[in-house]
Every structure is written in C-alpha cells, then in structure tokens.
C-alpha cells in the first residue's frame, strides 16, 4: 500500500499495466457492450409488416429514384412523416447494402445516442451510480430492446425528444447554479429540430410541455424566457426549416396536409390506427416493461440530505416527464403502441433507484430480487428475438426473391388487392407497381391502412396516380404487349388471377402467391399508360 493510499487518498490507476498502455478509455467498453446487446439481432429476422416494410420501402425509393427531397411510397408523394428517418436509412443502405441490418441501423444508433445523453446528464445531476443503473434497466426493458432495432419512426423521435428534454433541463439547472449552460441549451434546440424532422411538431411540443411543467413545479417560471435562446432558435430554424420551405415549391398543398390534417385533425379524429380507450397506455406501458415495471411501486423522491437539490430536481423532472407523455398520448383515440416510447427514459430512471438500492442492500433477498429481475428481463428479450426470427410469417422476402429470379428486366408487375410493402425492396424493382383494387370504395378514408395512404397521395401527383392506382374494373390491361405480367396477390384473392387465361402460379409464401400471366395483343386504347 502506498503512503497516499494509507491516508485514504484515491490514487488514479496507471495508464500502463504490465508495460501495456491502456487504449480504451473508461466507459467505452460498457457503451460498446450495450450497443452490441441492443443490436446483435439486427439482421436475424425479416422486416415486419406493415411498419418496417413501409418506412424502409420509402427509403429504398429515395435510393432508386435519386429524389431525396420528396419521400414517395410506390412512386407517390408520402407526406405522412418528415424525411429524417428515410434519409438516415437510405444513407445506411447506400453504405452497407440493401439488407435488413442496414435498414435498422438508424434506430439502433439513435437509441445509443439517447442513452449517452441520458447518462451524461443524469451522471452530472444524480450521480454516476444511478446513471449506470438507469442505462442497464433501459437496455434490458423488453419494449426498449425491441424498439432499438425496429425500423420505424418510434425510436428516432423518442430519442430526439429525450435528448431535448435532458439537455434543456440540464441547461436550466446550470443556469440556477451559475455554471456554463449555453452549450446544453443549443444542443437542446438542435435536438428539437431533429425531432421535428423525425416526426413533426411533436418533436418540439412534447419536450416543451415537459420542461415548462417541470419549471412550474419547481417555481422557476422566470427561467422559461431564458430557455428561449435566440441562438438556439437560429440553430433550430437552420436545421428544421429548409425541408418545409422547399417541398411546397413542388407540392403547394403539402403544408395544409402535413400540419393541419396530419397533426391537428389526426390528433383528435377517429378512424386512424389502433383506436383505444383513454387508459390504454396506463396498462400497456407497465406490461411491455415487465419485469422492471414492478419496481416502480418502490420509487421515491430522494431525501433532501441525500444528493442535494439537483438530484431532487432531476427526480421531479422524471416523474413529470413520465406523467406528461402518458397523459398527452392518452387524449387522441388513435394509440399506436410506439407513441408512448418517450416515457421509457424517465421510467428507467425511476426504476433504477429502488433496483440499485436492492443491489447494494445487505439483505440477500433484496439482492436476489434485483438479480432475478435482471435475469428475467434478459430472458424475455432473448425469447422475443427467437420467436420473431422463427415464427414470424407475414413477410414476403421469399416471394420477392422468386419474382426477382423469374422476371426479365422490363416485365411489368402488378399487385392485386394489396400493396406488398417489402416486395419492391427485396425484388429490387426499379419502378413503382400498379395496384389493382377498388379505388372507388367510399370507405377508403374511414380506415388507416395502405389503401388510404396511397389514395391520400394521389392529389399530389394525379397523372402518376392514374397509372398506379388501377381500378378493379379495368382489370389486367397491363398484360397487353409482348412481355408477361407478374402478379402478386394474397392467397385469399387468388381466384381473381386464376380465372385469367394463361395464368400460371409460380410461387407461394406466407399467405401470398406469385403468378405469371402470359401476354396477349390488346385492342387499340385498352393498354394502360406506363
């Protein structure tokens, strides 16, 4: 023992151990391990439908068309969401190839970025131990684990919302303490801008509500104007505004559709995806975070003498953050499960406190309970991976590969009574696919599905829509010419294709089939424009 150690002084570890120099900084190994844990299954299971197929398909269309300004679904403008996820996913597939792992890379990296921001700020305001425990709880929550390699917009927007909140709150506490705060505040505004580019106004509205309610609870109302930083606003506009200014030049109706229809009317109206009662998230959130959610009943505010005012303020932030997110998304009738994902970050923090206390307890039963919770959480995550990798039966990868192998370049393809989101991607189709369906159905706009999405896009490109949204009464006029027509159809609707002369079933997979329809000469005027 050295003299310094004998007097109770902590001596920093030497960068040289046995003559070898330490190359990896402390904490990097743990970060790599967390990302490895979240991403080890990134390519083990096919794209799930419709969500992953839809959003990855839009990114694929950016690659094949070269148009990175206007997102398209089946060649028609897709303005339901802003473009950030599509940009990141298209860049990933350009760099690493068109495959499911590359398609899921953006959510994985953004989950890691959000964890880093949460850890950094929590470590500063509540201590390193609770910050470490928070990440361990978060990374092994089944809901978060699954979302980290799920290729849709839920994790990206949740990550930017979380980063906006923690950086803004960190800046507010720094202001109160008289320490540097401008960098954190500018980071918060930049993350809010990226949240807007990821999902829309929710990227700034939801963090704003959380931070304002928190400051009100702390009786720091005068701090709110100071968070409205002129530099932060400039950074926000430089990042978020250009896309929203450029798109209307090509599609004048975009701003009304995106901001009025998709935000306000969708928030309050029915007929959208997954309508549920007001208490839906109150039940689903604890259920999808089992077994960790059981520890929430033991979460408490820290004592005033334990950790100081910053720690109590950080705990208050987390309780308010959790409550605001659940309440906010409980208002609309439409309640997709992924919407509540921003609540996972504060939930993990609040659970980490009692779990950490149990790990440190002198009572063996408490330590065993914490260890058993961690083990069961990991087992649930691994079980979900095995289930999805072996039992999921809705993807059309095999059918798309059969189409790619059998079809000659230039042969027309048509979808019948369904838009198969993943087929253009896996079959590497270079052109949009005509979809034969009843496009005069008055109920199209009453349900939130693929047909409504394509029908809502038609007014932005009416001429192209006329060639792609083929009414069932027009039949299979695309078979006119010298090339065969390839039709992808659900198994339940195969009779429509089987009734055609010279139609041959080529392949079938997962409740769908691929048919080859021999060409025939067409009377003048029968062939559809292509």
Q: Convert 459-476 to b/e letters by CB count within 10 Å (16 or more is b).
A: ebbeebbeebbbeeeeeb
CA distance 426 to 514: 14
Residue with tokens 């009453």: 446
- The per-residue pLDDT for 524 is 56
Question: Which residues are CB-neighbours of 37 under 8 A, at least 6 positions away?
Answer: 139
- Ranges of each domain in the chain: 108-390, 397-517
CB 181 within 8 A of CB 171: yes
490 closest CA partner among 177, 65, 49, 30:
49
pLDDT tens over the chain, length 530 residues: 433 333 333 333 433 334 434 444 455 677 788 889 999 999 999 999 999 999 999 999 999 999 999 999 999 999 999 999 999 999 999 999 999 999 999 999 999 999 999 999 999 999 999 999 999 999 999 999 999 999 999 999 999 999 999 999 999 999 999 999 999 999 999 999 999 999 999 999 999 999 999 999 999 888 999 999 999 999 999 999 999 999 999 999 899 888 888 777 665 555 567 778 889 999 999 999 999 999 998 888 776 655 578 899 999 999 999 999 999 999 888 889 999 999 999 999 999 999 999 998 889 999 999 999 999 999 999 999 999 888 888 899 999 999 999 999 989 999 999 999 999 999 999 999 999 999 988 888 888 889 999 999 999 999 999 999 998 766 666 666 778 999 999 999 998 888 888 899 999 998 999 999 988 776 654 444 33
Sign of CA dihedral 277, 279, 283, 285: positive
CA distance 368 to 499: 65
475: left (phi over 0), alpha (psi -120 to 50) or beta: left
Question: Which residues are CB-neighbours of 458 under 8 A, at least 6 positions away?
Answer: 76, 465, 469
89 closest CA partner among 66, 113, 60:
60
Tokens at 25, concatenated: 């900084």
CA distance 433 to 396: 15
Measure the CA dihedral 101/105/111/115, to 10°. 100
Tokens at 60, concatenated: 């694929």
> What residues form DSSP beta bridges with 72?
77
Q: Cis bond leading into 193, ω under 30°? A: no
Neighbours of 414 (CB within 10 A): 23
CB 337 within 8 A of CB 284: yes
CB 186 within 8 A of CB 235: yes
Distance of CA 162 to the CA centre of its chain: 13
- The per-residue pLDDT for 499 is 86
CB 296 within 8 A of CB 351: yes
For the chain, the farthest-separated pair of C-alpha atoms sits apart, in whole angstroms, at: 100
Classify 524 as helix, strand or coil: coil
Reported as half-sphere exposure (CB side, CA atoms, 13 A), residue 385 has a value of 18
CA distance 496 to 417: 10
CB 64 within 8 A of CB 430: yes
Reported as half-sphere exposure (CB side, CA atoms, 13 A), residue 490 has a value of 11
Torsions phi, psi of 7, nearest 5? -90, 10
Beta strands in 240-303 (DSSP E): none
- The per-residue pLDDT for 475 is 65
CA distance 345 to 49: 26
CA distance 432 to 434: 7
Classify 415 as helix, strand or coil: strand
CB 435 within 8 A of CB 67: no
pTM exceeds 0.85 for this model: yes
How far, CA to CA in Å, does 492 sit from each of 172, 475, 488?
Answer: 58, 18, 12
CB 313 within 8 A of CB 173: yes
- The per-residue pLDDT for 384 is 92
Please give the angle made by the CA atoms of 244, 249 and 252, to the nearest 5 degrees: 90
CA distance 168 to 172: 6
CA distance 158 to 81: 14
């Amino acid at each position: 023992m050295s003299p310094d150690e004998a007097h109770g002084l902590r001596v920093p570890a030497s960068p040289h151990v046995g003559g070898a120099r330490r190359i990896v900084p402390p904490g990097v190994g743990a970060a790599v391990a967390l990302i490895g844990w979240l991403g080890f299954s990134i390519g083990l299971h096919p794209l799930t439908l419709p969500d992953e197929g839809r959003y990855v398909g839009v990114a694929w269309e950016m690659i094949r068309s070269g148009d990175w300004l206007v997102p398209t679904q089946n060649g028609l403008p897709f303005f339901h969401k802003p473009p950030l996820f599509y940009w990141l996913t298209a860049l990933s597939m350009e760099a690493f190839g068109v495959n499911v792992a590359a398609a899921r890379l953006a959510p994985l990296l953004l989950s890691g970025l959000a964890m880093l921001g949460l850890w950094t700020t929590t470590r500063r305001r509540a201590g390193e131990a609770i910050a470490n425990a928070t990440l361990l709880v978060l990374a092994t929550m089944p809901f978060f684990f699954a979302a980290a390699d799920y290729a849709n917009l839920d994790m990206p927007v949740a990550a930017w919302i979380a980063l906006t909140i923690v950086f803004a709150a960190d800046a507010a506490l720094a202001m109160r303490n008289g320490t540097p705060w401008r960098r954190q505040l500018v980071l918060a505004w930049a993350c809010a801008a990226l949240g807007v580019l990821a999902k829309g106004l929710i990227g700034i509205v939801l963090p704003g509500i959380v931070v304002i309610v928190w400051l009100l609870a702390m009786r720091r109302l005068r701090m709110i104007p100071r968070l409205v930083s002129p530099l932060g606003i400039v950074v926000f506009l430089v990042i978020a505004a250009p896309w929203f200014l450029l798109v209307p030049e090509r599609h004048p109706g975009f701003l009304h559709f995106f901001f009025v229809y998709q935000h306000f009317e969708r928030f309050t109206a029915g007929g959208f995806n997954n309508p549920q009662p007001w208490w839906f998230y109150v039940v689903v959130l604890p259920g999808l975070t089992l077994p960790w959610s059981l520890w929430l009943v033991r979460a408490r505010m820290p004592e005033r003498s334990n950790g100081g005012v910053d720690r109590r303020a950080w705990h208050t932030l987390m309780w308010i953050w959790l409550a605001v997110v659940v309440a906010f998304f409980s208002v609309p009738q439409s309640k997709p499960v992924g919407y509540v994902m921003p609540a996972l970050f504060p939930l993990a923090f609040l659970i980490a406190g009692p779990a950490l206390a149990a790990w440190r307890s002198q009572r063996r039963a408490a330590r065993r309970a914490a260890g058993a919770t961690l083990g069961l959480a990991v087992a649930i995550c691994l079980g979900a991976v095995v289930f999805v990798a072996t039992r999921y039966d809705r993807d059309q990868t095999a059918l798309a590969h059969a189409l790619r192998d059998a079809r000659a370049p230039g042969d027309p393809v048509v979808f019948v009574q369904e838009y198969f989101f993943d087929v253009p991607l896996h079959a590497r189709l270079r052109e949009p696919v005509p979809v034969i369906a009843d496009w005069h159905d008055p109920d199209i706009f009453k349900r939130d599905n693929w047909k409504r999405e394509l029908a809502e896009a038609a007014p932005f490109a009416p001429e192209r829509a006329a060639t792609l949204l083929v009414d069932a009464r027009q039949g299979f006029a695309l078979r006119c010419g010298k090339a065969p027509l390839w039709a992808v159809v659900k198994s339940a609707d195969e009779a429509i294709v089987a009734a055609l002369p010279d139609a041959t079933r080529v392949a079938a997979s997962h409740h769908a089939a691929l048919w080859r329809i021999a060409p025939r000469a067409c009377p003048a005027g029968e062939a559809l424009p292509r």
